[in-house]
């Protein structure tokens, strides 16, 4: 596949996944903030850190209030990771790839972007923030479902899946790290109703609350949440599941193009750590350190994929 086409398809799906993850994170932060829970820091500061947008937001000046953070992470055109910017980026990449994607997929993302252009913070606040967050998530599901249900399983589809999975792994690691390392409740709240609600909210932010109940069948324990989101290979948004599929795709590409790629070696290394790791080992060495390293290696893998296949790194 031509490097430019691979780049467009890869980033099209990264943008769609990022918009969905941003909406999920803002929805959970909004609900948690309404509780007035006593945590180690402002919930909205934590949202900026999860999004990797704390420094750009600080350059604007002003406190991290619910309205200012939602505006920056959802609507700001100068924030490349805002929901609006992501949907625009996904639409532009899809437009460049009209010949590679189906008409149904194009119509889905184009309609989402056109509707997004009509929305403002004032409008979604008046209609209900929850409805807006659900709309973003639903449009992401619709586009991904249409693409997966109508596209040929060729290289175009494989690079789209790579984009989705790299972005998903990054989001899962970030939100888990922030809960463990930053949003620590006060000592009196550990194991209490507020702490339980926060862990439940985290699970719901990655659509995993019911899965957790089905697997563990008891109250929510932080170590089991970490195990579910890091090591379980049957959990759709876990790091293990993401990298298992990434490695499968990249091993195919290596065999198909008959070349050795640095990105394949990096992906295989990440998967081996997840396949043979245990939550007790991870916690003993430091969960924050483990997740920080996972985020850094995922970024390194994304750069290597760009270098090997897209020549844009």
The pLDDT tens digits of the residues spanning 262-284 come to 999 999 999 999 999 999 999 89
Q: How far apart are CA 108 and CA 104, in angstroms?
A: 6
Q: Which residues of 164-182 are buried (b: 16+ CB within 10 A; e: fewer)?
A: bbbbbbbbbbbbbbbbbbe
What whole-number percentage of the chain has pLDDT above 70? 92
Identify whether the C-beta of residue 304 lies closer than 8 Å to the C-beta of residue 262. yes
Q: What pLDDT shows up at residue 36?
A: 61
- Other Cβ atoms closer than 10 A to 106: 19
Give the range among 59-63, 139-143, 190-194, 196-200 with minimum mean pLDDT.
Answer: 190-194
Question: Which residue's entry shows tokens 């876990």?
Answer: 238
Q: What pLDDT shows up at residue 198?
A: 77
Q: What pLDDT shows up at residue 8?
A: 96
- Which are the contacts of 43, defined by CB distance < 8 A and separation ≥ 6? 29, 32, 33, 37, 183
Q: How far apart are CA 77 and CA 81, in angstroms?
A: 9
For 185, the 3-state DSSP assignment is strand
The pLDDT tens digits of the residues spanning 13-45 come to 999 999 999 999 999 888 877 766 555 557 888
Average pLDDT, the chain: 90
Q: How far apart are CA 121 and CA 116, in angstroms?
A: 11
Structure tokens, 244: 């298992």
What is the number of alpha carbons within 13 Å of residue 109 lying toward its C-beta?
32
Q: What pLDDT shows up at residue 113?
A: 97
The pLDDT tens digits of the residues spanning 81-122 come to 999 999 999 999 999 999 999 999 999 999 999 999 999 999
Structure tokens, 246: 């990434």
């Amino acid at each position: 596949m031509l490097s430019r086409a691979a780049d467009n398809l890869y980033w099209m799906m990264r943008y769609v996944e990022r918009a969905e993850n941003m909406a999920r994170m803002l929805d959970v932060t909004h609900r948690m903030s309404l509780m007035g829970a006593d945590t180690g820091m402002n919930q909205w500061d934590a949202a900026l850190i999860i999004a990797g947008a704390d420094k750009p937001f600080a350059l604007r000046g002003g406190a991290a209030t619910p309205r200012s953070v939602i505006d920056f992470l959802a609507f700001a055109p100068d924030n490349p990771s805002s929901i609006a910017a992501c949907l625009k980026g996904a639409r532009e990449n899809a437009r460049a790839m009209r010949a590679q994607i189906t008409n149904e997929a194009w119509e889905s993302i184009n309609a989402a972007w056109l509707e997004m252009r009509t929305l403002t913070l004032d409008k979604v606040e008046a209609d209900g923030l929850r409805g807006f967050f659900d709309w973003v998530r639903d449009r992401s599901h619709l586009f991904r479902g249409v693409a997966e249900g109508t596209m040929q399983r060729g290289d175009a589809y494989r690079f789209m899946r790579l984009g989705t999975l790299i972005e998903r792994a990054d989001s899962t690691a970030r939100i888990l790290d922030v809960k463990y390392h930053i949003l620590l409740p006060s000592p009196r709240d550990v194991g209490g109703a507020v702490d339980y609600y926060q862990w439940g909210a985290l699970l719901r932010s990655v659509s995993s609350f019911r899965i957790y109940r089905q697997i563990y069948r008891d109250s929510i324990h932080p170590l089991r949440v970490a195990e579910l989101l890091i090591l379980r290979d049957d959990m759709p948004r876990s790091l293990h599941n993401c990298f298992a599929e990434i490695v499968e795709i990249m091993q195919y590409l290596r065999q198909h193009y008959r070349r050795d790629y640095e990105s394949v070696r990096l992906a295989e290394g990440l998967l081996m750590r997840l396949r043979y790791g245990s939550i007790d080992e991870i916690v003993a060495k430091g969960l924050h350190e483990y997740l920080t390293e996972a985020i850094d290696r995922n970024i390194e893998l994304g750069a290597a994929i760009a270098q090997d296949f897209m020549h844009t790194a």
